[in-house]
C-alpha cells in the first residue's frame, strides 16, 4: 500500500538560553530548559512517502542521496512514527534547506521538526503540538523548539512525556532580527551530540545548570516585556557560559575562530555606544547578532564590514512548523 505523501516546512531556531548536556542522551532529556526564537526566511522543506513498494527507508538531502547506513537518527524517527501509526511500510524522505547546512545555523533543528511533522502526517497519525515537539526532540533536542511558533521555551521536564516546547509569544510579538555572521562554512569537527555527551565532564557544568532557572526567568520575562537590555545581558552571559563548558570539558571543544572574537568584541563596543545589539553563539564559529528591526540594516552593514565575515544571513522571528501540501 502507498500512503499519501506529506510535505512539511520548519524553521531553524536560535537559543537565547542554551541547551547543552543531557540527563538522558538516548531520550534527549536536557539538563536544563531553554528558550529560543524561530528564524523566518530560513527553512527546511521535507516530503515523506510511506510505501510497501520501497525496499528500505531512503533519504535525499538536496541533490545528495544519503546511503542507508547514514540514515541513523532519521531511521529512528521513522520507526517511532511507524510504531505510533501501526504500519510497517518503508519511507522515502526528500529534504531541502534554503540555507547552507554547514552555516552554523542549527540545520538539525529545522530538519527534525520538518521530518517529525511530515512523517506523522504521511503515516496518518494526528499528533498534538506537545506530541510533535516530543517526537522532533528524539531526533535532535533543539528541533522540539522548531515545532511551535515565535518565541519558544523547551521545558526540560522530568521524563520523556513532559519534555517538550511551547510558545511564549507569537512571532509578531517582537520584531527582533538575527544577522548571522558567517565566518566559516566548514563543517564542525565535533557535533552537538558528542558535545552534549561530554558536557558533564566540565567542572563548570553543574554551576551553569544550577543557575539556569534564574536566567530562564529573566529571559522569559524580558521576552514578554520586550525588555531588550535584559535579554541582551542574559543571553550573552548564557552563550559565554555554554562556551566555557565546551572549552573546559574533556575533550575540550573550541568553536570560536579569531573572526568570531572580533565580531563579539565589536558587538559589545556597539552596545556600549548605545546601539541595542547582542551576540549569541552555537556549536560553531558563526556569530548570531541580534537587534530590533529598526537597527537591522545598519547592524547588518556593520557586521559585513568586519574582517573575516564571509556573508550575513538575515532572519526575523518565524512561525511554527507547518504542513505545506
Ligand atoms: C549549541 O539540538 O543540535 O545549538 O540533540 O544532539 O541534536 P542534538 O543537539 P542539538 O544541540 C543544540 C546545541 C546548541 C544550543 C541550543 O540550540 O540550545
Please work out whether the CB of residue 108 comes within 6 Å of at least one atom of ligand 1: yes
| Cis peptide preceding 290, ω within 30 of 0 | no
Nearest CA to ligand 1 atom 1: 282
Measure CA 4 to chain center: 29
Question: What is the per-residue pLDDT for 102?
Answer: 55
In the block, residue with C-alpha cell 528558550: 35
Between helix 129-139 and helix 72-85 the angle, nearest 10°, is: 150
Question: What is the per-residue pLDDT for 156?
Answer: 98
Please work out whether the CB of residue 97 comes within 6 Å of at least one atom of ligand 1: no
Instruction: List, in order, residues 6 or more apart from 1 with CB less than 8 Å away.
Output: 51, 52, 89
Question: What is the per-residue pLDDT for 220?
Answer: 98
In the block, residue with C-alpha cell 552571559: 237
Report the chain (325 residues): mean pLDDT per 10 consecutive residues. Answer: 91 98 97 98 96 94 80 94 97 91 72 98 97 98 98 97 98 98 79 94 98 98 98 98 98 96 98 98 95 98 97 96 93
Handedness of CA 214, 22, 238, 316 (dihedral sign): negative
- pTM score, whole prediction: 0.97
CATH superfamily name and code, 173-316: GHMP kinase, C-terminal domain (3.30.70.890)
Please work out whether the CB of residue 140 comes within 6 Å of at least one atom of ligand 1: yes
Question: What is the per-residue pLDDT for 103?
Answer: 56
Please work out whether the CB of residue 43 comes within 6 Å of at least one atom of ligand 1: no
Instruction: Identify the CA nearest to 133 among candidates 123, 149, 306.
Output: 149
- Distance, in Å, from the CA atom of 73 to the CA atom of 193, rounded to the nearest integer, reads 11
Which CATH number describes the domain made up of 6-172? 3.30.230.10
- Distance, in Å, from the CA atom of 42 to the CA atom of 19, rounded to the nearest integer, reads 21
- Give the distance (Å) from ligand 1 centre to CA of residue 141: 6
- The C-alpha cell at 242 is 555554554
Please work out whether the CB of residue 241 comes within 6 Å of at least one atom of ligand 1: no
Rg (CA), the chain: 19
Q: What is the DSSP pairing of strand 287-292 with strand 278-280?
A: antiparallel
Question: What is the per-residue pLDDT for 168?
Answer: 98
Question: What is the per-residue pLDDT for 77?
Answer: 97
Instruction: List, in order, residues 6 or more apart from 265 with CB less than 8 Å away.
Output: none
Contact 119, 91 (CB under 8 A): yes
- Give the distance (Å) from ligand 1 centre to CA of residue 22: 10
Residue 140: C-alpha distances to residues 146, 196, 290 (Å): 10, 11, 24
Question: What is the per-residue pLDDT for 84?
Answer: 97
Question: What is the per-residue pLDDT for 124?
Answer: 96
- For the chain, domain boundaries: 6-172, 173-316
Please work out whether the CB of residue 106 comes within 6 Å of at least one atom of ligand 1: yes
Question: What is the per-residue pLDDT for 184?
Answer: 79
Q: Helix %, strand %, coil % for the chain, to 5?
A: 40, 25, 35
- Give the distance (Å) from ligand 1 centre to CA of residue 214: 21
Please work out whether the CB of residue 141 comes within 6 Å of at least one atom of ligand 1: yes
Question: What is the per-residue pLDDT for 101?
Answer: 63
Please give the number of the atom of ligand 1 that sits closest to the Cα of 34.
18
In the block, residue with C-alpha cell 552563550: 239
Please give the number of the atom of ligand 1 that sits closest to the Cα of 108.
3
Query: DSSP label at 190?
Result: S
- Distance, in Å, from the CA atom of 280 to the CA atom of 119, rounded to the nearest integer, reads 32
- The C-alpha cell at 146 is 522548531
- Distance, in Å, from the CA atom of 209 to the CA atom of 31, rounded to the nearest integer, reads 7
Question: What is the per-residue pLDDT for 187?
Answer: 66
Question: What is the per-residue pLDDT for 71?
Answer: 85
- Give the distance (Å) from ligand 1 centre to CA of residue 4: 32
- Give the distance (Å) from ligand 1 centre to CA of residue 322: 21
For the sheet with 278-280, list strands across it. Answer: 278-280, 287-292, 176-182, 311-316
Please give the number of the atom of ligand 1 that sits closest to the Cα of 28.
5
Amino acid at each position: 500500500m502507498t500512503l499519501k505523501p506529506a510535505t512539511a516546512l520548519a524553521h531553524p531556531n536560535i537559543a537565547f538560553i542554551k541547551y547543552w548536556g543531557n540527563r538522558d542522551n538516548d531520550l534527549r532529556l536536557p539538563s536544563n530548559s531553554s528558550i529560543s526564537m524561530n528564524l523566518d526566511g530560513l527553512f527546511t522543506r521535507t516530503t515523506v512517502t510511506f510505501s510497501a513498494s520501497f525496499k528500505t527507508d531512503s533519504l535525499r538531502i538536496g541533490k545528495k542521496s544519503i546511503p542507508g547506513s547514514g540514515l541513523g537518527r532519521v531511521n529512528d524517527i521513522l520507526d517511532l512514527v511507524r510504531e505510533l501509526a501501526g504500519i510497517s511500510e518503508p519511507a522515502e524522505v526528500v529534504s531541502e534547506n534554503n540555507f547552507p547546512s554547514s552555516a552554523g545555523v542549527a540545520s538539525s533543528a529545522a530538519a527534525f521538526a520538518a521530518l517529525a511533522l511530515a512523517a506523522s502526517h504521511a503515516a496518518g497519525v494526528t499528533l498534538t503540538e506537545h506530541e510533535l515537539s516530543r517526537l522532533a526532540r528524539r531526533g535532535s533536542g533543539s528541533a522540539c523548539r522548531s515545532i511551535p511558533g515565535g518565541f519558544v521555551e523547551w521545558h526540560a521536564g522530568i521524563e520523556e512525556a513532559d519534555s517538550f516546547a511551547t510558545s511564549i509569544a507569537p512571532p509578531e510579538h517582537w520584531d527582533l532580527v538575527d544577522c548571522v555572521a558567517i565566518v566559516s562554512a566548514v563543517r564542525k569537527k565535533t557535533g552537538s551530540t558528542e558535545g552534549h555527551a561530554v558536557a558533564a565532564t566540565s567542572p563548570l557544568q553543574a554551576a551553569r545548570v544550577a543557575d539556569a532557572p534564574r536566567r530562564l526567568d529573566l529571559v522569559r520575562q524580558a521576552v514578554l516585556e520586550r525588555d531588550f537590555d535584559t535579554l541582551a545581558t542574559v543571553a550573552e552571559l548564557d552563550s559565554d557560559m555554554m562556551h566555557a563548558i565546551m572549552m573546559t570539558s574533556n575533550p575540550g571543544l573550541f568553536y570560536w575562530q579569531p573572526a568570531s572574537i572580533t565580531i563579539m568584541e565589536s558587538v559589545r563596543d556597539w552596545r556600549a555606544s548605545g546601539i541595542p545589539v547582542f551576540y549569541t553563539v552555537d556549536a560553531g564559529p558563526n556569530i548570531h547578532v541580534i537587534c530590533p528591526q529598526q537597527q537591522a540594516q545598519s547592524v547588518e552593514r556593520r557586521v559585513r564590514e568586519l574582517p573575516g565575515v564571509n556573508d550575513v544571513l538575515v532572519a526575523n522571528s518565524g512561525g511554527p512548523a507547518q504542513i505545506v501540501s
